[in-house]
Structure 1
């Protein structure tokens, strides 16, 4: 009697262009290796050239975006759609390449075209086939945190995140990436937990109402906000990929989503890692993340040293 193939855990790293997917794969793979997990990165982005991590499987061996654009006279968006449809039609190639990686923890670096994760079916079909092969994946959906500084863009991000969650049909973790750079784009109007927990969005509408342009679209924004709140699915985890404590929080959420069992040996490795540098390949720090600043409540800000007594 043939034994079933062991379950292989991993992450499908998705998100808009520039959200930091490739950097995330590099940092997360280094962190996982420090924990003792046997990790491998699979590049499913045919536009990726010169990836900073070592690819265990590279879609560039099957199809590349420049070749498709030149041969079929397509633009980058149409070319990416064709590449994913070509991968969907040649899943036997992917199956053969993944077969030696059974038992590894896999990171799938996916293309950044938003349409592939919101309404086109090719990438979802690839994920569904991976599930049938015994790969248990969580979608790690990265969104650039600077969108929090603009209420209109944040509402757009919420809609995109919700659409992606409903379309991809995987256990899902939304991540606000590049938290260490957020203040370069302006101050946040609210504490960070307002954005991560997606609290009462009517406050965002009030901010938009002060803008002469968006004042004319208040009813539309109200309907979008109502839709997001009715589903009540979207929340975010802040991430600074250079901060190992931040990476740890994201990994714990992903492991919880796909049911990965956290072993005793790995716990010891984590404790050792949190008290020392991971290595030279990707520098992790244990500095206080900038998110802590925005988690401070107004009451705490007004309390002086003389008020901190028990």
Structure 2
């Protein structure tokens, strides 16, 4: 895969992102694929970043792929490590070579970045590689303050999502936009109205949605 030439960000440029977390097999990659399709339908610029070195079967073509930097299978073969150990090695390698990722993160103004992250819980509970990316360290105090507010005021909410239903996926997009402070352009509204006009059926009650997902 050919990487796009690096473009320097301008101070006036604004970018928006989604970090997709979840256990292995939860549907992170499928969500990234469908959300990217939805955002492109309404005219947004989207960059998908695959940061899972074990993600070798993707329905989308990543714009930035950690597997171009380091390959899990090669690490397992050369270092005689199992899948989990090799994954930890890959993330440590990314941490040491974070400039590679920073150079790839380029785009036009208002680009939406979607980060497809690995699902192994060890990376988040018992390991610091993902916490130590260089571009998050300067916001450490701010992030700690925001987490404190979220915990103290119970601001975490949950939104059920059917990734194969555009109307349902739009609800998630709206929540993400609100969290990112994104203000959509007028032409996006026309695209959204057109999509909603094609939707079939009324919104199901929450209890019915819960039952469907349990099934």
Q: Using structure 2 for the length normalisation, give the TM-score.
A: 0.78
Counterpart of 2:177? 255
Q: Are 2:197 and 1:275 equivalent residues in the alignment?
A: yes
- RMSD of the TM alignment (CA)? 3.2
Counterpart of 2:6? none
**Structure with the greater relative contact order (CA < 8 A, sep ≥ 6): 1 or 2?**
2
Secondary structure of 2:90's counterpart equals helix
Q: Distance in 2 between matches of 1:286 and 1:118?
A: 42
Deviation at 1:101, TM superposition (A): 5.9
Q: Aligned match of 1:7 in 4, 14, 17?
A: 14
Does the aligned pair in 2 maintain the 1:245–1:286 contact within 8 Å?
Answer: no
Q: Are 2:145 and 1:129 equivalent residues in the alignment?
A: no
Q: Distance in 1 between matches of 2:28 and 2:126?
A: 20
Distance 1:290 1:67, change over 3 A: farther
Q: Aligned match of 1:238 in 141, 160, 170?
A: 160
Counterpart of 1:213? none
Deviation at 1:262, TM superposition (A): 2.4
Secondary structure of 2:31's counterpart equals helix
Distance 1:242 1:257, change over 3 A: same
Q: Using structure 1 for the length normalisation, give the TM-score.
A: 0.56
Does the aligned pair in 2 maintain the 1:238–1:291 contact within 8 Å?
Answer: no
Secondary structure of 2:20's counterpart equals strand
Secondary structure of 1:122's counterpart equals coil
Secondary structure of 2:18's counterpart equals strand
Deviation at 1:50, TM superposition (A): 3.2
User: Could you list the runs of 5+ residues in structure 2 that have no partner in the other structure?
Assistant: 1-8, 211-215
Q: Distance in 1 between matches of 2:185 and 2:138?
A: 25
